[in-house]
Structure 1
Amino acid sequence: MKNKTVAAWLAFLGGPLGLHRFYLKGPGDTIGWLLPIPTALGFYGIERAREFGMDDGASWILIPFLGFTVAACALTAIVYGLMTPEKWNTRFNPHAPIDAAAGATGWLTIGAVALALMIGATVLMASIAFSFQRYFEHQVELGRQISQ
């Protein structure tokens, strides 16, 4: 039996590592194994920014990978948490009764949805703002070089 609350929390807390995918689909899930790659690229971008400063072009390309992965996993947690028990059990517990307790929504599920919405939206907006800021600063610097 796959529990909706556990899946929502795993998607929110361990989603960038693919933990929710392994919980729901097993260790053979390809997407679960691929999810740590953009996460690692984002962390590598953060380390490059610390080492070389914010003017490093590779770091401002790599950092949003982490943000967008975290935001996508938060969205997945929201989708799991808001899924009706009937749909949850049909999809992830096909041999269980349609009204099995594993698909029920409780306060812990709502907590996962609320935190995922708050943190996911913040991370998404920060990633978008960071990406556009670095892009436009780069364009201004190129324009300055051309004009000199």
Structure 2
Amino acid sequence: MNAPRPKRKTWAAWLAFLGGPLGLHRFYLHGMGDLLGWLLPIPTALGLYGIERVRLHGLDDPWSWVLIPCLGFTIAACALMTIVYGLMTPEKWNARHNPGLAPEAAPGRTSWFTIAAVVAALFFGATVLMASIAFSFQRYFEHQIEAGRQISQ
């Protein structure tokens, strides 16, 4: 029987950054039977549906206010996982994902490609998170102001 392939930290970081909302990093690290990997595409699809609702019905569609942040928060969470993977020490990485290897084995080492994934995730994840929060609060407060105007009339 073949020994399992070692899980590389750089691959996991880039999969979390680029394919995290589809669960690719979870499948890479935990296999195709990982439940969270199969659940991650759900908020991604809901957020994409929210964007489509905005395109069809405009920004005043209340369902899009709820659905679009699902995509933003999923992307931000996957960017956070990229940062966690990239900054994990080789000893901790290999103990968790490559238990048969030495603590300082190559799959757990940090390279410049790993750091590039962390930097990209920090920039892009923070941007998407702030945009999602701003969109949610703006739409909520606009809705509250409109409700207050209707009450006062």
Work out whether the TM-score is over 0.5: yes
Q: Which one of 96, 103, 106 corresponds to residue 108 of structure 2?
A: 103
Alignment of 1:63-74 (within 5 A): 63-74=68-79
Q: How does 1:50-129 map to 2 (within 5 A)?
A: 50-129=55-134
1:134 to 125, 130, 139: 139
Counterpart code for 2:121: A
1:17-43 deviation line (CA, Å, top 9, x unaligned): 000000000000000000000000000
The runs of 4+ residues in structure 1 deviating greater than 2 Å are: none
TM-score normalized by the length of structure 2 = 0.96
Supply the distance in 1 between the matched residues of 2:107 and 2:64 (Cα, whole angstroms): 42
- For 2:150 and 2:67, how far apart are their aligned partners in 1? 25
Hey, what's the Cα distance between the residues in 2 that align with 1:60 and 1:46?
9
1:11 aligns with 2:16: yes
Structure 1 position 38 matched with structure 2 position 43: yes
Number of residues paired by the alignment?
148
> Kindly, what percent of the aligned residue pairs are identical?
75
Residue matched to 1:143? 148
Normalising by structure 1, what TM-score? 0.99
Deviation at 1:60, TM superposition (A): 1.0
SS at match of 2:7: coil
Q: Which runs of 5+ in 2 are unaligned?
A: 1-5
SS in 1 for 2:138: helix
Please state if 1:20 is matched with 2:25. yes
1:98 is paired with a residue of what secondary structure? Answer: coil
The CA distance in 2 between the partners of 1:12 and 1:19, in whole Å, is 10
Matched residues in 2 for 1:14 and 1:145: separation? 44
